């Protein structure tokens, strides 16, 4: 009886310590974050309340006092800026993934294995997340420069607010092709779920190092640091890898 009472007391104690944590998450990480957030709540009792968007907008919102406690960024530069402005805690920073850029079309056999479709130019619209706000958009723009086709396709670029919207433009046929994150189109077997795609070589765009960090509002909140640390657990890393990200 005493042992049972102790178990009950510990259970209630754990629940009492459980907390919600407000998390800003880069749009590229939407699919894996759904799984990780569910696992995090199951394993720790803490609940991640997720807001998706572009890191450029999140930076402005955090500066303006948005109630985020953790940023799971799609780059490292935004956490750099937040630390420099005294809005995030450097010691809590974790690199949780390295992103991979893909040229994708919802049409089968439309994008070839070397991206020659960009040079042929037989398309009307190319979806690209706004390079000023989204790191994957900036990476796509750099890739076009490296390939020497940016000027030729510039008039056909359709800017999206983030890569979620870029994916929508392509999947609905409003753009024949465009740049997205590999995580958005990877299937259960690790291949492309639908359409056709070219996974760009890493030397065509700057490395997409993705960091998570506790923001000032989460400084004294155990749930905030617990979430950032959870991204480095074997369970979370397995999910991240399954969605096509590279790990350190």
- Total-model pTM: 0.87
- Specify the residue for token string 């809005």: 87
Domain residue extents for the chain: 2-98+207-242, 101-199
- Specify the residue for token string 């657990």: 233
The CATH code for residues 101-199 is 3.40.190.10
- pLDDT tens readout for residues 43-99: 999 999 999 999 999 999 999 999 999 999 999 999 999 999 999 999 999 999 999
Do the first three CATH levels of 2-98+207-242 and 101-199 match, i.e. the same topology?
Answer: yes
The listed CATH number (3.90.650.10, 3.90.1260.10, 3.40.190.10, 1.10.1520.10) that belongs to domain 2-98+207-242: 3.40.190.10
**Which phi and psi (to 5°) does residue 232 adopt?**
-100, 5
Q: What confidence score (pLDDT) does residue 23 get?
A: 98
State yes or no: pLDDT of 225 exceeds 90: yes
What mean pLDDT value characterizes the chain? 92
């Amino acid at each position: 009886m005493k042992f049972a009472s102790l178990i009950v007391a510990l259970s209630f104690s754990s629940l009492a310590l459980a907390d919600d944590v407000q998390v800003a998450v880069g749009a590229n990480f939407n699919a894996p974050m759904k799984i990780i957030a569910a696992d995090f709540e199951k394993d720790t009792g803490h609940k991640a309340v997720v807001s998706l968007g572009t890191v450029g907008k999140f930076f402005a919102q955090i500066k303006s006092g948005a109630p985020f406690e953790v940023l799971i960024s799609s780059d490292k530069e935004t956490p750099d800026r937040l630390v420099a402005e005294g809005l995030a805690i450097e010691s809590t920073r974790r690199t949780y993934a390295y992103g991979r850029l893909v040229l994708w079309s919802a049409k089968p056999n439309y994008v070839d294995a070397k991206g020659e479709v960009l040079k042929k130019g037989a398309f009307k619209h190319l979806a690209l997340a706004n390079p000023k706000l989204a790191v994957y958009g900036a990476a796509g723009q750099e890739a076009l420069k490296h390939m020497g086709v940016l000027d030729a396709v510039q008039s056909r670029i359709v800017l999206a607010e983030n890569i979620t919207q870029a994916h929508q433009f392509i999947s609905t046929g409003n753009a024949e092709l465009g740049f997205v994150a590999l995580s958005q189109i990877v299937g259960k077997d690790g291949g492309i779920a639908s359409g056709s795609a070219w996974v760009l070589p890493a030397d065509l765009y700057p490395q997409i190092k993705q960091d998570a960090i506790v923001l000032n509002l989460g400084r004294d909140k155990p749930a905030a640091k617990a979430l950032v640390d959870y991204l480095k657990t074997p369970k979370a890393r397995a999910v991240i890898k399954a969605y096509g990200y590279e790990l350190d």
